[in-house]
């Protein structure tokens, strides 16, 4: 489906960025590549959350500090804006307490609001993201259908064209958009609305045509904001590219029908000291295996393949080499209904370089 294809694209992007980060000696290049990898991770997590929403499964609610989270997110969002639109993050008033929200959907919702604000600005303008805390009394709580108490408020305000009355009536409906074909999915505000509702909060919208708009997301405060590290996160150092001298290089047979994913995954593994044979179909993978059955230490295969699925490929290979380690990779979640999928480790796309190599090494060491 769409999620599978999207995750395949993310996997190719993330893997290529990982290769660039590992091979570059320039800190700026490595930092940019790391930003891409982290964005890919966020996007992959978002796909899983949206699928969970569609199946009405609960997301991963965590207690976190919204101020600290936004302080790390806003610099990344600034890259989405043209030079004549400024983006600021401000805290109004005193301390802001911790909130219990799905952090992936929280970040995605803020990004969606910032992108919508950008698209609403004609020419130069400003977007301001503010955090504050306020009390909701009994009367307001009754009107809104929420609990009384302290609420953390995250507001995204812009100097754009504003929102019409007709748009305000439908703006939280799934797939409703005022943008042109190919410019928006109509899911951004509906995701934000669902995320805030999941947290038992509410959204206030202020806007007049020609005077900009402000979306204020209210979240119940569940306690003091958890402490977060104040020191900058160090740039990950590249791991050794090859095994120690004299150590045999593990031999991997890789099967994936997406050429970009296959190429990038092969490069990742080779950078970490693996010898890799790759194939685009299970028949081609079987032919490569049959040519040298003892020359493969592990099968790394996509689950959804032309001709027949990855678990069937694993079964046929293991008929010749019982106990051969196998790792499945897929743009689908593990709950896809394919026999044999539970017989080997499973890695969801997009995956990081470290997750890939750690999973492969663990499978090799398990025999």
Q: Residue range 120-133: average pLDDT?
A: 94
Instruction: Judge contact between 213 and 206, C-beta under 8 A.
Output: yes
The arithmetic mean of pLDDT across residues 180-195, rounded, is 62
pLDDT tens digits for range 300-343: 999 988 889 999 999 999 999 999 999 999 887 665 567 677 77
The answer, yes or no, to whether residue 173 has pLDDT greater than 70, is: no
Higher pLDDT, 63 or 164: 63
| Residue predicted with more confidence, 172 or 10 | 10
What pLDDT was estimated at residue 251?
A: 95
Burial class (CB in 10 A: 0-12, 13-18, 19+), 8: buried
CA-to-CA distance for 130 and 154, rounded, in angstroms?
A: 6
Stretch 143-171: mean pLDDT: 88
Q: What is residue 186's predicted lDDT score, i.e. its pLDDT?
A: 45
What DSSP state is assigned to residue 295? G
Specify the DSSP class assigned to residue 293.
G
Determine the topology of domain 66-223 in CATH: Heat Shock Protein 90 (3.30.565)
| pLDDT surpassing 80 at residue 102 | yes
Q: Are β-strands 298-302 and 326-330 bridged in parallel, bridged antiparallel, or unpaired?
A: parallel
Mean pLDDT score, 76-98: 92
Residue 363's Cβ-side half-sphere holds a number of Cα atoms within 13 Å equal to 24
209-242 confidence digits (pLDDT tens):
888 999 999 999 999 888 754 434 444 555 555 5
Query: Taking 60 as the threshold, does the pLDDT of residue 58 lie above it?
Result: no
Mean pLDDT of the chain: 83
- Is 66-223 the same fold as 1-58+238-367? no
pLDDT score at 321: 93
Fold classification of 1-58+238-367 (topology level) = Rossmann fold (3.40.50)
| pLDDT tens figures, 272-309 | 899 999 999 999 999 999 999 999 999 999 998 888 99
Residue 326: in which H helix or E strand, if any? strand 326-330
Pick the more confident residue, 63 or 180: 63
- Residue 183: pLDDT band with limits 50, 70, 90: very low
Tell me the pairing of strands 346-348 and 326-330: parallel
Q: Is the peptide bond before 350 cis (omega within 30 degrees of 0)?
A: yes
Measured in degrees and rounded to the nearest 5, phi and psi for residue 146 equal: -125, 175
Q: What is the pLDDT of residue 172?
A: 67
What does the domain layout of the chain look like in residue ranges? 1-58+238-367, 66-223
* Percent of the chain surpassing pLDDT 70: 81
């Amino acid at each position: 489906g769409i999620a599978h294809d999207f995750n395949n694209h993310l996997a190719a992007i993330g893997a290529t960025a990982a290769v660039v980060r590992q091979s570059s000696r320039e800190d700026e290049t490595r930092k940019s590549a790391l930003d891409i990898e982290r964005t890919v991770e966020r996007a992959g997590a978002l796909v899983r959350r949206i699928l969970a929403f569609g199946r009405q499964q609960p997301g991963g609610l965590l207690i976190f500090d919204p101020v600290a989270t936004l302080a790390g997110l806003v610099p990344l969002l600034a890259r989405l804006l043209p030079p004549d639109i400024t983006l600021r993050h401000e805290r109004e008033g005193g301390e802001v307490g911790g909130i219990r929200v799905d952090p992936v959907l929280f970040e995605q919702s803020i990004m969606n609001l910032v992108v919508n604000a950008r698209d609403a600005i004609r020419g130069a303008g400003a977007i301001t993201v503010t955090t504050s805390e306020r009390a909701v009394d009994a009367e307001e709580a009754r009107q809104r259908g929420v609990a009384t108490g302290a609420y953390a408020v995250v507001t995204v305000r812009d100097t754009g064209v504003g929102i019409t009355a007709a748009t305000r009536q439908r703006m939280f409906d799934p797939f409703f958009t005022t943008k042109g074909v190919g410019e928006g999915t109509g899911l951004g505000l509906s995701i934000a609305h669902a995320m805030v509702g999941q947290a038992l909060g509410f959204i206030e919208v202020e806007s007049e045509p020609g005077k900009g708009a402000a979306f204020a997301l209210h979240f119940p405060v569940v306690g003091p904001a958890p402490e977060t590290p104040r020191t900058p996160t160090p740039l990950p150092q590249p791991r050794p590219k090859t095994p120690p001298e004299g150590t045999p290089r593990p031999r991997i047979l890789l099967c994936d029908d997406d050429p970009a994913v296959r190429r990038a995954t092969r490069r990742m593994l080779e950078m970490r000291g693996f010898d890799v044979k790759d194939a685009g179909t299970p028949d081609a993978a079987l032919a490569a295996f049959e040519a040298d059955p003892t020359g493969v230490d592990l099968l790394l295969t996509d689950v959804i393949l032309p001709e027949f699925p990855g678990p069937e490929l694993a079964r046929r290979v293991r008929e010749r080499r019982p106990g051969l380690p196998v790792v499945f990779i897929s743009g689908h979640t593990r709950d896809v209904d394919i026999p044999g999928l539970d017989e080997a480790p499973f890695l969801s796309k997009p995956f990081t370089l470290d997750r890939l190599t750690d999973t492969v090494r663990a499978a090799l060491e398990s025999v």
